[in-house]
Amino acid sequence: MRLTSKGRYAVTAMLDLAFHSQLKPVTLIDIAARQTISLSYLEQLFARLRRANLVKGVRGPGGGYSLCSNACDISIAEIVAAVGERIDATKCGGEANCQKHHACLTHDLWMDLGDHIKSYLQQITLADLLAKGRVQEVAERQNQEARQVIEIRNHADLMNDIK
Amino acid sequence: MRLTSKGRYAVTAMLDLAFHSQLKPVTLIDIAARQTISLSYLEQLFARLRRANLVKGVRGPGGGYSLCSNACDISIAEIVAAVGERIDATKCGGEANCQKHHACLTHDLWMDLGDHIKSYLQQITLADLLAKGRVQEVAERQNQEARQVIEIRNHADLMNDIK
DNA sequence: TACTTAACCTAGTAAAATAGTCAACTAATA
DNA sequence: TATTAGTTGACTATTTTACTAGGTTAAGTA
Ligand code: FES
Ligand code: FES
């Protein structure tokens, strides 16, 4: 079992998306700037998120990504699974055969642990995280810090939209 | 966060130890045979378990390893931590600084997840696992299979002891 | 005393995974 | 038509894992 930056980045990016994509799609460039994640790496992650039907992409200017469902219907477990992180703690992958085609001494322990973690992550949704004060604070700070990079662009877009 | 064969082997070996070391120390050779784990690798893991004061080794003929405490006082969390598996799910290791010296968007989520897993593994002891019927079954099967390898040796020892 | 046993220690290593980079291509918009 | 931004594939440095090989040391046994 492993939970690495791949899964952390995916959840972080999805949360950023949930936070900013109320009106229009959000570009990966913006997410990369706000969350300090490599753009190329994000692209790879979003390819998988798209294949898992969690986000949809819109090409061209004004494009970007937005969520497929409501934030309250997307669990952390789904996101983590979509990018291929194994939440399973067993060696056998649930087959109970890691020791000469038989179960090893600790198979049940790791199965139970995996189920435990899975159900924990399943019960938490993006909406739950959005509701936390701490998340709001951090998102605010990130907006401040990434302002010069992002908002100038977005502001120009907005002016154009108004025109 | 990662939980790999290192931690799985450590717990498996400790459980084997708890099961077989009632009377006399158990050799790593026996554990390796029963659990099909590389002997040299086991030695490395037991070096760490010993440094963590979970087991003590006795050299020479008739030697081996035995537990430092009762099986009911050794939690899975201790074993996993002793061999250096990081149960922590954060990137920052709890420092809340993984994004330019500040907390990232999902820091709290990973902290909570880590605490959750940790407390789950802390509440399970070796004695709990030993009490499970499934574990007894598997241990019995392993005894059968490793009989020709181990018990012939132990039998010889026993005969010598009697003499 | 010589021999065996098994813990203890150190260094190295093939394979896999991670966390990326780079470059090209496609679709939508202005 | 130029620009934007998603989409795709290949490639890479670094790290970790799960070992192996080879030794040394301490404690019993013949
Ligand atoms: S982990 Fe499932 S059989 Fe060993
Ligand atoms: S995981 Fe702790 S700050 Fe990002």
Residues of A within 8 A of B134 (CB-CB) are 103, 108
Number of independent structural domains in chain A:
1
What tokens does A115 get?
């189920």
| Test the A interface: residue of B106, B125, B128 with most A CBs within 10 Å | B106
Nearest one of B108, B104, B73, B79 to B11, comparing CA atoms = B79
| CATH number of the domain where residue A31 is located | 1.10.10.10
Q: What is the pLDDT of residues A30-54, one digit of tens each?
A: 999 999 999 999 999 999 999 999 9
Report the distance separating Cα A83 and Cα B87, nearest Å. Answer: 20
Q: What is the pLDDT of residues A73-121, one digit of tens each?
A: 999 999 999 999 999 999 999 999 999 899 999 999 999 999 999 999 9
Predicted pLDDT at B161: 46
Report the distance separating Cα A161 and Cα B55, nearest Å. Answer: 70
Q: Please, are residues B76 and B135 in contact by the beta-carbon 8 Å criterion? A: no
User: The domain containing residue A76 runs over which residues?
Assistant: 5-162
Interface of B with A (CB under 8 A): 1-5, 8, 11-12, 15-16, 35-36, 76, 89, 91, 99-100, 102-110, 113, 116-117, 120-121, 124, 129, 132, 134-135, 138-139, 141-142, 145
pTM above 0.85, yes or no: yes
